[in-house]
């Protein structure tokens, strides 16, 4: 079980590293001046590759987490309210990941409606999600 837990932590940390950086690319894309095609295409290439890699990291992170939860029974039984809350945090992280993919599609189609300041705030959500997940797993407040 400790091997599964270790790899789960590594893949979650890696997945979140991508979720931290992808919106930073959105900040830069939102700041690209009209007519700067080369800069826009370079950032889009970076964002596409990062999204693909981040998605590949999310799959084992989620799979190993399910293995720990369902296979080893971590978070079952009395006093496991923390796990329900953590599963909620994970669900929000998956939706955030999906929203990042949608946002990238909007940039690709030239449909972005937000400025760089909005993306700077948007970029803070995965930090809060990771902090919440770690506190829930380590402290188990309920």
Measure Cα distances from 67 to 59, 72, 76, 119 in Å: 12, 7, 13, 34
Domain boundaries, the chain: 2-139
Mean pLDDT of the chain: 96
pLDDT digits (tens, 9 = 90+) for 97-120: 999 999 999 999 999 999 999 999
Question: What tens digit of pLDDT does each residue of 5-29 get?
Answer: 999 999 999 999 999 999 999 999 9
* Digit-coded pLDDT (tens) for 49-83: 999 999 999 999 999 999 999 998 888 988 899 99
Let me know: does 58 contact 15? Beta carbons within 8 Å. yes
pTM for the predicted model, two decimal places = 0.94
């Amino acid at each position: 079980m400790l091997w599964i837990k270790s790899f789960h932590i590594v893949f979650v940390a890696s997945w979140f590293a991508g979720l931290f950086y992808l919106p930073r690319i959105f900040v830069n894309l939102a700041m690209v001046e009209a007519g700067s095609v080369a800069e826009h295409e370079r950032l889009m290439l970076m964002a596409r590759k990062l999204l693909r890699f981040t998605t590949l990291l999310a799959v084992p992170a989620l799979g190993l987490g399910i293995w720990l939860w369902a296979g080893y029974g971590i978070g079952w039984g009395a006093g496991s309210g923390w796990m329900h809350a953590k599963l909620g945090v994970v669900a929000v992280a998956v939706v955030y990941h999906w929203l990042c993919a949608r946002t990238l599609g909007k940039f690709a189609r030239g449909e972005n409606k937000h400025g760089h300041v909005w993306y700077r705030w948007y970029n803070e959500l995965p930090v809060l999600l990771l902090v919440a997940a770690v506190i829930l797993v380590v402290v188990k407040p309920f």
